[in-house]
Amino acid sequence: MLIGMAARKKTSDDPLAPVTLAVGQEELLIDRAVRSVIEAARAADADTDVRDLASGELQPGTLAELTSPSLFAERKVVVVRAAQDLAAETVKDVKAYLSAPVEEITLVLVHPGGAKGKGLLDAARKAGAREVECPKMTKPADRLAFVRGEFRTLGRSATPEACQALVDAIGSDLRELASACTQLTADVEGTIDEAVVGRYYTGRAEASSFTVADRAVEGRAAEALETLRWAVSTGVAPVLITSALAQGVRAIGKLAGAPRGARPGDLARELGMPPWKIDRVRQQMRGWTPDGVAAALRAVAEADAAVKGAGSDPEYALEKAVVTIAGAARSR
């Protein structure tokens, strides 16, 4: 039986819609979008036939063959990867199918969303296809939202500070972030907090160095010292920590001297910081004074000299700098 898509109620959350578009370039999200369709189909019919095809495997006539009515009315999922690369004749086949999809068959088109192959993308949207957005997450705020969503999906509670620490430690790889959320959920009971994330992940040099700096400029001396000791014990070079401290204090000084009311984008260009960092530094700098910035910079310079050979105890020099910076921040 043929059913026109326009006759169906468009439900964006129905994985068994006749056609699903997975649009974007984030591989993890694409894989999840495809998997959700397959899982829903197999939940409805355990014998669902899945055909996962590269664009080159879908030749003219192949789609008609795959979607031809069966005597056994079997459920089928047909996944077409890199739909933007389909040959012109095959695109005609797909567009024709969009106007009259076959019941019990779900077509999944994976498309990066760019200009190439846009005609097919537009045709599917016009026909009422269900669309799942799978964009690359280039902004730290997006990755932070992703981590929060992962913990919610896993049914666990994580503090905002823990989510931020995980993003800082892992970086931009969504697969690694998702894996970390799963690991923490499996290993830790109760609410997942920043200390837990620190025990698992702040052994990464860059992340732990900047975490020390963030906590210091926020006036959180105890947490900064705890993170500092953890970083040193896991082999982070002291010079990386003084560098992070210097960057943290300088960022506050730069932003404090910037014109009031300027937009984040304009400030980012002027100060050489990404917009997300402008927002973070604005939160960190409240209450800082010019004298406090000057004192903190002196403390960092002394620590830097100590860890480079001018002092006998680099760890003590770092702790002293952290206490001084946090003290300047606490004046707020």
pLDDT, tens only, 165-222: 888 777 777 888 898 899 889 888 899 998 888 777 755 545 567 888 888 988 888 8
| 191 Cβ contact list (under 8 Å, min separation 6) | 156, 157, 158, 159
- Tell me the residue ranges of DSSP E strands in the chain: 19-24, 49-53, 76-80, 105-111, 130-134
The answer to the question of residue 114 being in a domain is yes
pLDDT of residue 329: 80
Task: Find the domain containing 63 and state its range.
Answer: 19-134
40 and 147 together in one domain: no
282 and 187, same domain (yes or no): no
Q: Is residue 5 in some structural domain?
A: no
On whether both 218 and 317 belong to a single domain, the answer is yes
Residue given tokens 């902004």 in the structure block? 139
Arithmetic mean of pLDDT, 116-126: 95
- Is 293 within a domain? yes
Determine the average pLDDT of the residues in 286-298: 87
Say if residues 143 and 137 touch (Cβ distance below 8 Å). Answer: yes
Q: Are residues 146 and 243 in the same domain?
A: no
Q: At what angle do helices 160-170 and 174-187 cross, to 10 degrees?
A: 130
Q: What is the pLDDT of residues 294-322, one digit of tens each?
A: 999 999 999 988 888 766 788 888 999 99
CATH number where 158 lies? 1.10.8
49 shares its domain with 114: yes
**Residue 72: per-residue pLDDT:** 61
Residue 79 falls inside a structural domain: yes
89, 64 in Cβ contact below 8 A? no
**Bigger pLDDT: 70 vs 298:** 298
Q: Which of 161, 1, 18, 130 is nearest to 69 (CA)?
A: 1
What pLDDT shows up at residue 117? 93
Residue from 19, 205, 197 nearest 99 by CA? 19
Domain assignment present for residue 12? The answer is no
Longest Cα–Cα distance of the chain, Å, equals 84
The residue behind tokens 């960190």 is 284
Answer yes or no: do 128 and 233 share one domain. Answer: no
Unique residue bearing structure tokens 């109760």: 190
Do 125 and 224 sit in the same domain of this protein? no
Q: Clarify whether residues 91 and 28 are in a common domain.
A: yes
Q: Which two tokens stand for residue 211?
A: 């975490």
pLDDT-derived band at 95 (thresholds 50, 70, 90) equals very high
Check whether 332 has a pLDDT greater than 50. no
Regarding whether 233 and 276 lie in a shared domain, the answer is: yes
CATH code for position 260: 1.20.272.10
Q: Is 24 helix (H, G, I), strand (E, B) or coil?
A: strand
98/128 Cα distance (integer angstroms): 9
Mean pLDDT confidence for 61-89: 87
* Total number of domains in the chain: 3
Q: Are residues 293 and 218 in the same domain?
A: yes
Single-letter residue type at 76: K
Contacts of 103 (CB under 8 A, 6+ apart): 1, 2, 3
Same domain, 167 and 195: yes
